[in-house]
Amino acid sequence: GKGQHRHFMLKEIFEQPEVIGNTLKTMLNPAERTLTLPQLPFDLATIARVRIIGCGTSYYAAMTAKYWIERMARVPVEVDIASEFRYRAPPLEPGGLAVFISQSGETADTLAALRHCQAEGQHTLALVNVPESTIAREAEGVLLTLAGPEIGVASTKAFTTQLTVLACLAVALGRARGALDRAAEAEVCHALAEVPARVADVLRREDSIRAVAPLVAEARDVLYLGRGSNYPIALEGALKLKEISYIHAEGYAAGELKHGPIALIDESVPVIVICPSDALYDKTASNVEEVVARGGKVIFLSDRAGLARLSAKVAARIELPDAEPLVAPLVYAIPVQLLAYHVAVAKGTDVDQPRNLAKSVTVE
């Protein structure tokens, strides 16, 4: 049941420290700062290209993994929406690795993409939450998210456990390909081991996130901006908000702002900016100046240092714990979930069973 929580979605958001920890335990040795993936039926050292395929939130996990794998393993990664990939049926070089991300393991388009890749001689790897699912059974290799059953239609803990496994896959591939040395592996492993505590820290800040919900609840349209590996988190934030609050929301790469969406900015459009203090901070902060100069209402998500450095007059600030750049998407996924949740509660929508949506999309 929902226990002390009012909705399954909130319960599942609060389970994240535990389920991320459980998922990490299957791969990470925190004392030695090493990690080992479960046995795979192919050698990661031979993998020279990776393709990652999914739908919806699982696709955004794939997008995040592209940043991680390209950086840590120096292997080119292509990501695809399953329904686009399957009908495009692109030519594939034999010996590539194709990864299929699906919470349910039953999504029709993702399954069809898996079958296409198998026919084209790709190594296939399923990343699923349901071990006995069709996608898990048909793929050559399987990596499991230990999120436990996800009841809320809006995916939350499945997403962050997918990210957890994908970060580990990036490290393993980097080690196997010789792109990541032992010291770098140790650093990433240390950052990963801290994620459950960082996520728990974000959850303790729920009140400060709820306080911003009224600003968003009154809007008709909302923009989310992020850069680098946090760009997919902007997309995920927008998807969560539209799914459960029915507010129109779009995520953009912050650098794309002046290529179009800036035309939408006025005082009625909240702009939610995901901006940890990392190497890209200054770029995004200058986008914030542009939004504020046009009367936009910015809700700025950053750490203490990032908030202190911001000179623009933003409408609201949400302070988050410090996060290693590599794990920041895992930390910043949480406030966008909580914000969507509290906006939906403020609007009185059916959080766990949003209109028109199904938990598992087994038809095309």
The residue (of 154 and 339) whose beta carbon lies closer to ligand F6R is 154
Q: Which of residues 29-68 bind ligand F6R (CB under 6 A)?
A: 55-58
Give the residue ranges of DSSP H helices in the chain.
8-14, 16-25, 56-73, 82-88, 108-119, 134-138, 157-176, 182-193, 195-203, 206-210, 213-217, 231-245, 281-293, 304-309, 328-347
Burial 315-342 (b: 16+ CB within 10 A, else e): ebebebbebbbbbbbbbbbbbbbbbbbb
Reading phi first (left if > 0) and then psi (alpha if -120 to 50, else beta), residue 3 is in left
What distance lies between CA 25 and its chain's CA centroid?
20
Q: Please, which residue, 130 or 275, has the CB nearer to ligand F6R?
A: 130
Q: What's the DSSP call for residue 221? A: E
Is 11 marked active-site? Answer: no
Q: Which of residues 249-288 bind ligand F6R (CB under 6 A)?
A: none
**DSSP one-letter code for 229:** G
Whole-Å CA distances, 268 to 106, 220, 226, 296: 40, 8, 20, 7
Residue selected from 243, 303, 324, 352 as contacting ligand F6R according to rule CB under 6 A:
243
By CB under 6 A, name the one of 155, 230, 287, 302 that touches ligand F6R. 155
Cβ closest to ligand F6R, residue 349 vs residue 360: 360
Q: Which residue is nearest to ligand F6R (CB)?
A: 56
73/163 with CB nearer ligand F6R: 163
Shortest Å distance, C-beta 54 to ligand F6R: 6
Restricted to residues 316-335, the positions that interact with ligand F6R (CB under 6 A) are: none
Can you name the residues that pair with 81 across neighbouring β-strands?
54
Residue 122 or 155 having the CB closest to ligand F6R: 155
- Restricted to residues 85-144, the positions that interact with ligand F6R (CB under 6 A) are 102-104, 107, 110
Is residue 361 involved in binding ligand F6R (CB under 6 A)?
yes
Q: Which residues bind ligand F6R (CB under 6 A)?
A: 55-58, 102-104, 107, 110, 154-155, 239, 243, 360-361
Q: Which residues are catalytic?
A: 359
